[in-house]
């Protein structure tokens, strides 16, 4: 897509760069590099960031001064000559909180810069618990982890931000799963930070978007610019990366691919429509991880279960083909409950793809499973927690210290 003009019309024009903003951007780029890649030699940073050695030296000095990185001599390289200093994120000092409110569980983790999980908590989400009612549980997790870090140190540990992945679904008391009503399910405007015992507002995103962000940053889609990540968790939502950027839509509600209608003669869906993609799949195999596993296991000996897997995988491929025609991705990742369904019915998925997607759109598509597995939403929430720091390292570190 090197010929794609990047749009920059007056109405969305951002301020033009100044020397200050350039320095901030370079500091952010360097810190992001070591956050994602881990320990990196100065030589590699020089190379990767396209800056000269003295600039890299000045930037690392600033970041080290702010307590965000440290530098050291690398382990034996086996090469002659003076080794290049290695820059590492200070993972045990600089941390954020990542939380996820999923259909059936609540999780929180204290995560160090560099993506290292330092501490974590998890509980089932009781059926019928509204998103807002989960905040007290999450606040308990946070309090616990705050006490742990206060007791065990390090003494100079510094909290830089938090992120929360929120599912758009909830399981009702009767066991059924329903979409939440429209509107942001959890708004940082409402003093959410204070209710969580945090002195700055968290950043929120939805589970599929953040799982996609995680796989894109550290998983099966690292470095890929056009990715459709499908998350099966009661329904199907997508996290979409196009041209290297997340596609979230105007209100952050994009990616509701499960409610793409694929069968006008299909079954009524809980959303009020009929023949939605996720509903047609769930006619054969309910989109719950446990249910999928049970059917897939039974398919080894039970012809009815085998037929159910075949039908569900066929519908899965049907919707994937539509998305491939729309997005021309290189990679489709099957996450959450879709992972096992895809693995059990890959031939049917591929069959639909080859008959329904245009050759030009599908020719470079690879079908993948997640590398981060069930941790993807939480890992993605942690990326949100560090966003502000990575945009403006010194200012954020200063405000946090």
Contact positions with a second copy (CB under 8 A) in 374-393? 383-384, 387, 390
Which C-beta is closer to a second copy: that of 146 or that of 248?
A: 248
187 lies in the binding site for a second copy (CB under 8 A): no
Q: Which of positions 108-167 make contact with a second copy (CB under 8 A)? A: none
Window of 91-99, 135-143, 223-231, 336-344 that interacts with a second copy by CB under 8 A: 223-231
Q: If you write DSSP's letter for every residue of 95-152 in order, what string do you get? A: EEEEEEE-SSEEEEEEEETTTEEEEEEEEE--TT--GGGGHHHHHHHHHHHHHHHHHH
282 lies in the binding site for a second copy (CB under 8 A): no
Convert residues 311-350 into a mask of x (bound to a second copy by CB under 8 A) and - (unbound): -------x--xxx-xxxxxx--------------------
Q: Where are the strands (E) in 302-353, listed by range?
A: 331-336
43 lies in the binding site for a second copy (CB under 8 A): no
92 lies in the binding site for a second copy (CB under 8 A): no
Among candidate residues 119, 198, 190, the one with its CA nearest the CA of residue 162:
198
| Smallest gap from residue 242 Cβ to a second copy (A) | 4
182 lies in the binding site for a second copy (CB under 8 A): yes
Which C-beta is closer to a second copy: that of 144 or that of 201?
A: 201
Convert residues 232-261 into a mask of x (bound to a second copy by CB under 8 A) and - (unbound): ------x--xxxxxxxxxxxxxxxxx-xxx
Rounded CA separation 137/147 (Å): 16
Which C-beta is closer to a second copy: that of 93 or that of 168?
A: 168
Could you tell me how far CA 325 lies from the centroid of its own chain? 24
5 lies in the binding site for a second copy (CB under 8 A): yes
Of 13, 54, 75, 301, the residue at the interface with a second copy (CB under 8 A) is: 13
| Smallest gap from residue 294 Cβ to a second copy (A) | 27
Window of 16-24, 108-116, 126-134, 283-291 that interacts with a second copy by CB under 8 A: 16-24
CA atoms within 13 A on the CB side of 5: 3
Which C-beta is closer to a second copy: that of 185 or that of 345?
A: 185
CA atoms within 13 A on the CB side of 189: 3
CB 40 within 8 A of CB 33: yes
DSSP label at residue 185? S
Of 190, 364, 398, 399, the residue at the interface with a second copy (CB under 8 A) is: 364
Rounded CA separation 17/361 (Å): 37
Number of residues that bind a second copy (CB under 8 A): 97
Window of 48-56, 127-135, 291-299, 336-344 that interacts with a second copy by CB under 8 A: 48-56
Which C-beta is closer to a second copy: that of 157 or that of 220?
A: 220
37 lies in the binding site for a second copy (CB under 8 A): yes
Which C-beta is closer to a second copy: that of 51 or that of 148?
A: 51
Q: Using alpha carbons only, what angle is made at residue 349 by residues 347 and 353, rounded to the nearest 5 degrees?
A: 115
Of 4, 54, 75, 301, the residue at the interface with a second copy (CB under 8 A) is: 4
| Backbone φ and ψ of 95, nearest 5° | -140, 165
Q: Where are the strands (E) in 243-308, listed by range?
A: 245-247
| Residue 132: how many other CB atoms lie within 10 Å | 14
Rounded CA separation 338/232 (Å): 5
Q: β-strands 105-112, 169-171: how paired?
A: unpaired
77 lies in the binding site for a second copy (CB under 8 A): no
Could you tell me how far CA 65 lies from the centroid of its own chain? 30
33 lies in the binding site for a second copy (CB under 8 A): yes
245-247: strand order across its sheet: 245-247, 235-242, 227-233, 331-336, 366-368
Window of 83-91, 153-161, 170-178, 179-187 that interacts with a second copy by CB under 8 A: 179-187
Of 162, 204, 279, 396, the residue at the interface with a second copy (CB under 8 A) is: 204
Q: How many residues in the chain? A: 401
Rounded CA separation 238/235 (Å): 10
Torsion sign, CA atoms 187, 190, 193, 196: negative
Window of 89-97, 103-111, 127-135, 213-221 that interacts with a second copy by CB under 8 A: 213-221
């Amino acid at each position: 897509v090197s010929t794609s003009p990047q749009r920059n019309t007056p109405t969305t024009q951002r301020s033009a760069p100044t020397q200050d903003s350039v320095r901030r951007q370079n500091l952010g780029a360097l810190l992001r590099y070591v956050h994602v890649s881990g320990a990196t030699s100065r030589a590699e940073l020089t190379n990767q960031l396209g800056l000269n050695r003295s600039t890299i030296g000045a930037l690392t000095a600033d970041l080290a001064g702010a307590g965000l990185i440290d530098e050291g001599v690398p382990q034996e390289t086996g090469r002659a000559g003076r080794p290049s200093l290695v820059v590492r994120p200070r993972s045990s000092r600089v941390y954020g909180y990542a939380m996820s409110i999923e259909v059936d569980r609540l999780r929180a983790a204290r995560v160090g810069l560099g993506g290292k999980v330092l501490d974590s908590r998890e509980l089932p989400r009781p059926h019928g618990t509204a998103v807002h009612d989960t905040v007290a549980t999450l606040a308990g997790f946070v309090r616990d982890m705050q006490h742990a870090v206060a007791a065990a140190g390090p003494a100079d540990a510094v909290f830089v931000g938090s992120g929360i992945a929120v599912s758009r679904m909830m399981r009702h008391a009767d066991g059924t799963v329903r979409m939440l009503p429209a509107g942001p399910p959890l708004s940082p405007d409402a003093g959410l930070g204070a209710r969580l015992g945090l002195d700055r507002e968290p950043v929120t995103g939805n589970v599929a978007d953040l799982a996609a962000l995680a796989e894109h940053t550290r998983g099966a889609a690292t470095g890929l610019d056009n990715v459709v990540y499908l998350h099966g968790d009661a329904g199907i939502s997508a996290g979409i990366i196009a041209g290297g950027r997340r596609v979230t839509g105007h209100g952050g509600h994009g990616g509701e691919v499960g409610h793409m209608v694929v069968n006008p003669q299909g079954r009524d869906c809980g959303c009020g429509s009929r023949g939605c993609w996720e509903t047609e799949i769930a006619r054969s195999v309910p989109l719950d991880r446990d249910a999928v596993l049970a059917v897939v296991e039974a398919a080894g000996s039970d012809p009815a279960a085998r037929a159910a897997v075949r039908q569900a995988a066929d519908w899965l491929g049907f919707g994937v083909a539509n998305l491939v025609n729309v997005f021309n991705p290189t990679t489709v990742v099957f996450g959450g409950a879709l992972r096992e369904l895809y693995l059990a019915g890959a031939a049917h998925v591929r069959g639909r793809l080859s008959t329904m997607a245009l050759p030009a759109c599908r020719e470079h598509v690879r079908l993948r499973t997640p590398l981060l597995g069930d941790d993807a939403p939480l890992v993605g929430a942690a990326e949100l927690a560090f966003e502000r720091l990575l945009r403006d390292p010194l200012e954020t570190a200063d405000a946090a210290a």
